[in-house]
Amino acid sequence: MPPHASYKVAVLGAGGGIGQPLSLLIKMSPLVSALNLYDIANVKGVAADLSHCNTPSVVADFTGAAQLADCLKGVDVVVIPAGVPRKPGMTRDDLFNINAGIVKNLVEAVADNCPEAFVHIISNPVNSTVPIAAEVLKRKGVYNPKKLFGVTTLDVVRANTFVADKKNLKLIDVDVPVIGGHAGITILPLLSKTKPEVSFSEKEVQELTVRIQNAGTEVVEAKAGAGSATLSMAYAAARFVESSLRALDGDSDVYECAYVQSDLTELPFFASRVKLGRNGVEAVISKEIEGLSEYEEKALEALKEELKASIDKGIAFVNKQTVAA
């Protein structure tokens, strides 16, 4: 049976550098029946443009806070790329002060209008914005940890690309799990678990790991002030949306790495491979973090402190806002 278009997807931040190509890729999905595009500006033109593509989904545009609730009514998957991108010299922390508030406001609207939806967080720093979203949903009494995801798919996409390139493998066959978080040293590609099985020298492991961790900066520098990774991010996010839609549609063989509430480690949120189903995360795949190489074991211990600090920072942000209110 070919998939039938039956799911409603909202992109919050659809006018931006990631939002536009992401919306185009989602418009191409045969599983989408309605595509709601929201932004604070410039979204009318994006929607008009996309609406001419002859794929099944009906495109609608929503501008500004007053139209946000309408954008979210009855939506199955909400994708949030809203916020400001990284510029040269900016750390993901510099983004925090701006993007934390944006994510908080958008997720409050999700809680009020489509509390059952899958929520995909792209806005950086993901290590902090996912805990922010969780706290907001908890306060609204609608938090379902199985349906909140930090989109780390780009780390996997990059790992697959770089490994295939270095080892001269067919890209379609390569699968590298990436665990931890979604910034710098918290990104840990498990090269020892690469499929197909392939051996790396210590030097290759070091070089590949560092390249995967710093790939975002590679693009920021290459764009020289004109933005950050938008096209590859849109591609990776669209893959995660498609996987979520397949899971919602009853496909029982959908696995992706994502940053989710997790008990794999002592940290409350952690990225690893998960099995997706109709209700969100069906299982966190623990066997991949067993039997790590010595390099990976050390890197895993080393990333925990930074990841914990980012999680705590997100939670503290929502607590502070609540007290202020």
What is the per-residue pLDDT across 69-99, written as a single tens digit (0 to 9) for each?
Answer: 999 999 999 999 999 887 777 776 788 989 9
pLDDT at position 2 is: 56
Q: Which pair of tokens denotes residue 253? A: 């063989």
Q: How many CB atoms lie within 10 A of CB 168?
A: 6
**Residue listed under structure tokens 């949030």:** 80
pLDDT at position 57 is: 97
pLDDT at position 225 is: 82
The pTM score is: 0.96
Per the CB < 8 A criterion, the answer to whether 79 and 11 are in contact is yes
State the Cα–Cα distance between residues 262 and 10, nearest whole angstrom: 26
Q: Which pair of tokens denotes residue 123? A: 């806005």
28 Cβ neighbours under 8 A, 6+ residues apart: 53, 55
Q: Which pair of tokens denotes residue 175? A: 């699968």
Catalytic residues: 182
